[in-house]
Chains A and B, each alone.
Chain A
Amino acid sequence: MYKYARIEKTLMHPKYVWQLPVRFYHWINALVVVILGVTGFIIGNPPGITTVSEASLGYWFGTVRFIHFVAAYVFFFNFLFRLYWGFVGNKFAKWKNFIPYTKAHWVDMWDVLKVDIFQVECSKNPNLGHNALASFTYFLTFIVFLLQTLTGFGIYAAMSPSWFPQLFAWIPSVLGGDIATRQIHHILMWFFVLFAIVHVYLVFYHDYIEKNGVTSSMIGGWKFQDKDKVEREKD
């Protein structure tokens, strides 16, 4: 019975939000972060080998490290590309979304906290792209991306003579040696784990509550907006 009501009340208006490069960035990033996380954990604490073997017969640990390093390059350049797209992309991709430099940003953020996180209020300003709190979280995420790149390539510089990692060779000496740099790299890794849990949950949550197709939007690019709210926006 209520199904009809829902269709009537949520007459949705499709809007193209995530451009193809943004979607590509997202999924490449998701893939390499998973690869980096898994290989990173293996490198940090490799599983014990009980079979009798000689070093000359194997290279699996070297291969795991190689995959980690390749994924790190992809991660970094993909990240750089996203920063670039923050200047040339559409309004949902623009860098302005991510840095809370206006009062409106902070008001909206407080709104999201009240409505979605603590659930003490019911309605908030509609938004089509990222909500204010999500944008700010992504801004913090980008900072962690940067730190993870700096520490990662900083440790890697000792292992590669090529020019690109050598650009980061100064980092361990600033942070107090490779041990300290490695420690930071390990701690920040957990940010990605926590982020992934919360991120995936909130995507499901918003799709469920707001019925705006946010999950599929990162595949097709389209989001859905309440028809009333679209009308209101036009006024």
Chain B
Amino acid sequence: MGIRRKTYLEAAMDKGYSRRDFMKLGAMMTAFMGLESSMIGQVTKAMEKATRIPIIWLHGQECTCCSESFIRSSHPLVADILLDLVSLDYTETLMAPSGYQAEKSLHDTMTNFHGKYLLCVEGSIPTKEEGVYCCIGGKTFESIVEEAAEGAKAIVAWGSCASNGCVQSAKPNPTGATPIHEIIKGKPIINVPGCPPIAEVMAGVVVHLLTFDRIPELDRLHRPKAFYSRRVHDTCYRRPNYDAGLFVESFDDENAKKGYCLYKMGCKGPVTYNACGVIRWNNGVSFPIQSGHPCIGCSEENFWDNGGFYKRLPNFPGFGIESNAYKVGLGLGIATGVGVAAHAVVTNIRKRKLIADGECEQTNVES
């Protein structure tokens, strides 16, 4: 506990950044947190005094795309602060130590900074066969997360795997992949879904936690409101085409060249909550819709099981691969029409007497 960590300012100065750079960083962080410019002073002040927070970053059932996204956070200084200024004490992908030393640093952080460290979890937790499908250092991932969560100040669930299960939990979910919030209770959990999440969103979440020492405002699914309160559709630059009813009909048609709306190509933008349309990817270069591909809804729960990426409507359960509500409904509609017509014919035969002269007597079809 006697270990003193450097403040952000001290760490930045040590690395040779000027105070001017540090102020710029404060402004940038304020913007990333989705705060207004009047907050720059407060954020910078907080960063001057706040000490580096230890982070344990665990990897479970995942593809490491979250980490890959994170390290591509577009502004070099951002990558610096998050890799150098936070004390990333344990993360399988990036840490220098291995084997015994790695496990020791994990253990040290958990005991020395009990109740103070931030736990980041990338990946889902397999629960079937007692969690045997993901073991690290001879322990199941479930037990590792439970142990690390116990002393964590807060938990960040990186990506769709940790937030809602992603591809591992797609039907039939052979390993019983489970998101973090269904296993860990009683700790503040921030879900940052996306496959992967946007780098600047990840940076924004971490920075918010570091500077303000409290979790950002969350929505019902524990996602930070600053980044997940609006649909991709709401911030999509192709939205005017949607309202004007101008749609791409196939990927190689004239409408696609014109940049019309991708709604009919199965775009999940209208049902997906994310900041892609605003922050975009790779230093704000582009995002899927901008490059002509429909949004696949990667930050939404169950996006693997909700039908094809290129279909608006999911498959109808139990009616085969190419069925959707429209096809099944149409079939039922036709069946009902036929049934009604048959009933009308039978009525005229069976109830002939009743119709003709009010005699209550059935006429058998055979007679």
- Chain A interface residues toward B at CB < 8 A: 2, 5-6, 9-10, 44-46, 48-49, 53-62, 64, 117, 119-123, 155, 158-159, 169-170, 173, 176-180, 182-183, 186-187, 189-190, 193-194, 197-198, 201, 205, 208-209
B306 touches A193 (CB 8 A): no
Query: A58-B246, A61-B245 are contacts. A201–B329 as well, Cβ < 8 Å?
Result: no
Q: Which residues of B contact A169 (CB under 8 A)?
A: 220
B245 touches A57 (CB 8 A): no
Query: A10-B358, A119-B351, A179-B314 are contacts. A58–B244 as well, Cβ < 8 Å?
Result: yes
A190 touches B346 (CB 8 A): no
Chain B: CB-nearest residue to A158? B231
Q: Which residues of B contact A209 (CB under 8 A)?
A: 347, 351, 354-355
Q: Which residues of A contact B358 (CB under 8 A)?
A: 5-6, 9-10
Q: Which residues of A contact B303 (CB under 8 A)?
A: 179
The minimal Cβ–Cβ distance linking A131 to chain B, given in whole angstroms, is 16
Q: Which residues of B contact A179 (CB under 8 A)?
A: 268, 271, 297, 300, 302-303, 306, 314
The minimal Cβ–Cβ distance linking A154 to chain B, given in whole angstroms, is 11
Query: A179-B306, A209-B351 are contacts. A59–B243 as well, Cβ < 8 Å?
Result: yes
Complex: A45 Cα to B313 Cα, angstroms: 10
B314 touches A205 (CB 8 A): no
Q: Mark B328-359, 1 if CB is under 8 A from A, else 0.
A: 11001100110010011011001100111110
A186 touches B325 (CB 8 A): yes
Query: A193-B329, A201-B344 are contacts. A176–B243 as well, Cβ < 8 Å?
Result: no
Excluding A176-B302, A190-B328, 9 further A-B contacts by CB distance (< 8 Å) are A2-B356, A9-B358, A10-B358, A46-B264, A178-B273, A183-B306, A186-B325, A201-B343, A209-B355
Q: Which residues of B contact A159 (CB under 8 A)?
A: 234
Query: A182-B271, A201-B340 are contacts. A55–B240 as well, Cβ < 8 Å?
Result: yes
Of the candidates A119, A180, A187, the one whose C-beta lies within 8 Å of that of B302 is: A180
Q: Which residues of A contact B336 (CB under 8 A)?
A: 194, 197-198
B240 touches A56 (CB 8 A): yes
B244 touches A60 (CB 8 A): yes
Chain A: CB-nearest residue to B242? A61
B240 touches A177 (CB 8 A): no
A122 touches B242 (CB 8 A): no
Query: A9-B357, A44-B326 are contacts. A61–B243 as well, Cβ < 8 Å?
Result: yes
Q: Mark B249-266, 1 if CB is under 8 A from A, else 0.
A: 100000100001001100
Q: Of residues 173 to 208 in B, which have CB atoms within 8 Å of A's CB atoms?
A: none
- Chain B interface residues toward A at CB < 8 A: 219-221, 230-231, 234, 240-247, 249, 255, 260, 263-264, 268, 270-273, 297, 300-303, 306, 312-314, 316, 324-326, 328-329, 332-333, 336-337, 340, 343-344, 346-347, 350-351, 354-358, 360-362
Of the candidates B220, B316, B356, B362, the one whose C-beta lies within 8 Å of that of A187 is: B316
B347 touches A119 (CB 8 A): yes
The minimal Cβ–Cβ distance linking A60 to chain B, given in whole angstroms, is 5
B247 touches A122 (CB 8 A): no
A205 touches B347 (CB 8 A): yes
Of the candidates A2, A46, A180, A197, the one whose C-beta lies within 8 Å of that of B245 is: A46
Q: Which residues of B contact A186 (CB under 8 A)?
A: 313, 324-326, 329
Q: Which residues of A contact B249 (CB under 8 A)?
A: 48
A119 touches B268 (CB 8 A): no
A-B contact pairs, 15 of them (CB 8 A): A9-B357, A48-B249, A49-B246, A55-B241, A58-B245, A59-B243, A59-B244, A60-B245, A61-B242, A61-B243, A122-B360, A177-B301, A201-B340, A208-B355, A209-B354
Q: Which residues of A contact B306 (CB under 8 A)?
A: 179-180, 183
Q: Which residues of B contact A201 (CB under 8 A)?
A: 340, 343-344
Complex: A92 Cα to B260 Cα, angstroms: 53
Q: Which residues of A contact B270 (CB under 8 A)?
A: 178
Q: Which residues of A contact B264 (CB under 8 A)?
A: 45-46, 48
B247 touches A197 (CB 8 A): no
Residue of B245, B272, B302, B303 ringed by the most chain A CB atoms within 10 A:
B245
B243 touches A62 (CB 8 A): yes
